[in-house]
């Protein structure tokens, strides 16, 4: 029987010998590889932390101690060691294992974690809470207390929240361990001065000769106070790896390493000594992203989070399964054309060049394309500064990560009247990544900003038209949203895509006397058209591509409601403060009957991991569900018309009798 199958939890792992742990590591890698090749998921980051995760669970008791993940997508090995092997076969679906830490699944997970940079701060909070509760580990007074460990990636350490967390962690007077997983990568190559610093540390000769140099190094430390004291507290193995003049030292954290993150025996030795250290410490671990599979190690960006793929072990060839043209690819090509036509256009991403398509743009326009690393707030501020100097900045960011830069969208862009342009990839429901990554509140946030223009697109042609509109929109901030999905050719038969005109919808299907009008925002236009085909019963349904959530098409809304035509709004966004809410508010402001507006969108609850199509069905945004809502609106209106007609006839008959 494979060793992995005998591990129902960390207590089973601890029964194995050190020699057996390498076999467990190999089996975990094979299990993750086999599953991700079938369903897609985060491959390279999980392959890189297998040995480290095994060593941490071998040394600590995370059923009692605290383990907090910073980069949550590196949690697969952790889940396989904590009783969730049976869930791997349905990875990233509702019935199976989430691709991120998820407390609903197991008490071994502390937080649902999808945004980098949060691990140190939440760990500091738990460390302080345990201390106040009298539950913190103390070698002398409470040896059975809880220890706190956070696993953080080298790329996310530069995030502003990570910096704030480190600044506070250094004031702790207790055990606190930050394990820095340094693989030289985020999704793509990390950017900035800190990434360059880690590059220098990795090639420092002390890494290969630490025991010989450790004592001499400590003798030359300035003042020698904190680190010298720490040196005497550490065991012999860890003493040999105390690093001189590290960046973390300035925050008050003793730093050990870098050590080999794939040598389980060495990891166990270092972690065993760090386990009882009574001061904040950083253990710097050097790993290889994609470890164990040559193709993943050689192209860790492509295999960071691949879709399903075929693998031929005979020649080690990998073939990605084709799934159509994505909105991300369409955006990349469109953005290249915009930058080619206007030399004042610049583009930027925050550590997501491949995820947003900006890697393609950067190859063609390297001087005008920027990657700031995992720091969305800085990116937006920087682009506001560039807008102030006359450039036309486009910030390409996942909708869920825009939330981290809302203050800058408000203060440095909108308030100043600076036209920073936001390209919101992964807007709406995102499928397997689940609740941590859904883009469900970008409209709600940005609609509060005066002069903001908020767009959504239905296909590739409208995406190009939207980017061109934004290029020339100078009154303030603008944003366009598009989903994690493939572009559709459903609108090919509706004629050429017209240019975007501020606050104007596009009519796709129009009857002189419709029974109901559907105003669809973004890709919901496709679902609206599909649903009309299912309505039947001779219903006359107008369909409009709304295009704007701010400003909405008030003239169209007035025309429909004044004629008594009910409106169904569709959006792949939260109902609270979204496009439908904007339509209701516009109707109310014009003194019209907003009760005739039926809003369909994301409900006020969390939508967990599954395929995007199943999520849309769950929330009633698939074509059959929309068709049902349309029929109900049609039946309601026809019933009301019939009642009014009978009332009119009855009134006429009564007047005749009296006369």
- Active site amino acids: 289, 376, 404
User: Going by C-beta distance under 8 Å and a sequence separation of 6 or more, which residues neighbour residue 523?
Assistant: 428, 456, 457, 458, 459, 482, 483, 485, 488, 572
Reduced to 3 states, what is the DSSP secondary structure of residue 148?
Answer: strand
Place of tokens 């203050």: 407
Nearest to 528 by CA among 482, 488, 569: 569
Q: Which two tokens stand for residue 542?
A: 């107008």
Residue 16 has phi, psi (to 5 degrees) of -85, 155
Q: Which residues pair with 398 in a beta bridge?
A: 425
Q: Is the link from the previous residue into 163 a cis peptide, with omega within 30 of 0?
A: no
Q: Residue 7 contacts by C-beta under 8 Å, 6 or more apart in sequence?
A: 13, 24, 80, 81, 85
| β-strand partners of 598 | 568
Q: Residue 544: which of 586, 595, 596, 579 has the closest Cα?
A: 579
With b meaning 16 or more CB within 10 Å and e meaning fewer, what string describes 78-107? bbbbbbbbebbeebbbeebbbbbbbeebbe
| Sequence-separated (6 or more) residues with CB below 8 Å from residue 282 | 177, 178, 179, 180, 246, 248, 253, 254, 255, 256, 257
Phi, psi (degrees; rounded to nearest 5) at 393 = -85, 140
Please identify which residue in the block is written with the tokens 């199976």: 96
Over 442-483, what HEC string results? HHHHHCCCCCCEEEECCCHHHHHHHHHHHHHCCCCCEEEECC
- Angstrom distance (rounded) from CA 370 to CA 346: 8
Backbone angles phi, psi at 554, to 5 degrees: -65, -35
With the C-alpha atoms ordered 282, 288, 289, 291, is the resulting torsion angle positive or negative?
Answer: negative
**Contact of 487 with 460, CB cutoff 8 Å:** yes
How many CB atoms neighbour CB 202 within 10 A? 14
Provide CB contacts within 8 A for 337, sequence distance 6+: 464
CA pair distance 643, 160, nearest whole angstrom: 62
Inter-residue contact 307 to 320 (CB < 8 Å): yes
396-412 burial, b if ≥16 CB within 10 A, otherwise e? bbbbbbbbbbbebbbeb
Phi, psi of 591 (to 5 degrees): 75, 25
C-alpha distances (whole Å) from 53 to each of 49, 75, 123, 413 are 6, 9, 17, 42
565 torsion bin: left (phi>0), alpha (psi -120 to 50), beta (else)? beta
Question: Among residues 557, 574, 431, which one has the least CA distance to residue 503?
Answer: 557
User: What three-state secondary structure class fits 248?
Assistant: helix
């Amino acid at each position: 029987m494979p060793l992995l199958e005998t591990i129902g939890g960390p207590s089973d792992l601890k029964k194995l010998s050190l020699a057996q742990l390498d076999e467990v590591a190999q089996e975990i890698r094979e299990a993750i590889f086999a599953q991700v090749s079938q369903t897609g998921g985060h491959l390279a980051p999980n392959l890189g932390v297998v040995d480290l995760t095994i060593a941490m669970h071998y040394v600590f008791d995370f059923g009692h101690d605290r383990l907090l993940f910073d980069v949550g997508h590196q949690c697969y090995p952790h889940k396989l060691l904590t009783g969730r092997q049976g869930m791997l076969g349905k990875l990233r679906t509702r019935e199976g294992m989430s691709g991120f830490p998820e407390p609903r699944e197991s008490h071994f997970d502390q937080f649902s974690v999808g945004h980098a940079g949060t691990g140190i701060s939440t760990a500091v909070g738990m460390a302080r809470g345990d201390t106040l509760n009298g539950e913190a580990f103390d070698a002398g007074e409470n040896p059975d207390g809880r220890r706190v460990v956070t696993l953080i990636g080298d790329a996310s350490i530069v995030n502003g929240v990570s910096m704030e967390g480190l600044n506070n962690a250094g004031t702790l007077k207790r055990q606190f361990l930050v394990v820095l997983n340094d693989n030289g990568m985020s999704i793509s190559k990390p950017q900035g001065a800190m990434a360059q610093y880690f590059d220098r540390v990795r090639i420092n000769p002390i890494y290969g000769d630490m025991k010989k140099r450790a004592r001499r190094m400590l003798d030359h430390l300035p003042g020698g106070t904190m680190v010298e004291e720490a040196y005497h507290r550490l065991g012999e193995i860890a003493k040999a790896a105390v690093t001189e003049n590290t960046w973390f030292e300035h925050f008050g954290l003793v730093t050990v390493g870098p050590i080999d993150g794939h040598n389980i025996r060495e990891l166990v030795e270092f972690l065993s000594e760090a386990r009882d250290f009574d001061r904040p410490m950083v253990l710097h671990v050097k790993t290889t992203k994609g470890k164990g599979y040559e193709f993943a190690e050689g192209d860790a960006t492509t295999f960071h989070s691949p879709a399903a793929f075929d693998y031929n072990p005979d020649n080690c060839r990998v073939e990605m399964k084709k799934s159509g043209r994505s909105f991300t690819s369409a955006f990349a090509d469109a953005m290249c054309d915009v930058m080619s036509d206007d030399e004042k256009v610049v583009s930027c991403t925050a550590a997501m060049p491949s995820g947003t398509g900006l890697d393609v743009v950067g190859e063609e326009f390297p001087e005008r394309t920027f990657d700031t690393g995992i720091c969305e707030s800085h990116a937006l501020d920087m682009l506001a500064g560039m807008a102030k100097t006359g450039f036309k900045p486009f910030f390409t960011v996942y909708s869920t990560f825009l939330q981290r830069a809302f203050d800058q969208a408000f203060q440095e862009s909108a308030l100043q009247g600076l036209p920073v342009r936001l390209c919101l990839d992964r807007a709406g429901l995102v499928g397997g990544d689940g609740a941590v990554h859904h883009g469900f509140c970008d409209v709600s946030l940005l609609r509060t900003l005066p002069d903001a223009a908020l767009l959504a697109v239905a296909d590739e042609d409208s995406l190009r038209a939207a980017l061109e509109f934004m290029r020339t929109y100078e009154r303030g901030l603008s944003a366009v949203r598009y989903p994690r999905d493939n572009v559709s050719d459903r609108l090919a038969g509706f004629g050429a895509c017209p240019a975007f005109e501020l606050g104007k919808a596009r009519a796709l299907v129009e009857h002189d006397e419709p029974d109901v009008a559907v105003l669809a925002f973004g890709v919901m236009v496709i679902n609206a058209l599909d649903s009309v085909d299912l309505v039947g019963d001779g219903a006359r349904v107008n369909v409009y591509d709304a295009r704007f959530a701010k400003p909405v098409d008030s003239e169209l809304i007035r025309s429909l409601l004044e004629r008594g035509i009910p409106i169904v709004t569709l959006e792949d966004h939260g109902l609270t403060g979204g496009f439908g809410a904007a339509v209701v508010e516009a109707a109310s402001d014009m003194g019209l009957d907003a009760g005739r507006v039926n809003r369909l969108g994301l409900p006020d609850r969390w939508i967990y991991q599954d395929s995007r199509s199943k999520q849309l069905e769950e929330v009633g945004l698939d074509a059959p569900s929309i068709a049902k809502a349309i029929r109900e609106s049609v039946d309601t209106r026809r019933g009301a018309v019939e009642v009014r007609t009978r009332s009119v006839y009855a009134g006429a008959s009564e007047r005749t009798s009296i006369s």
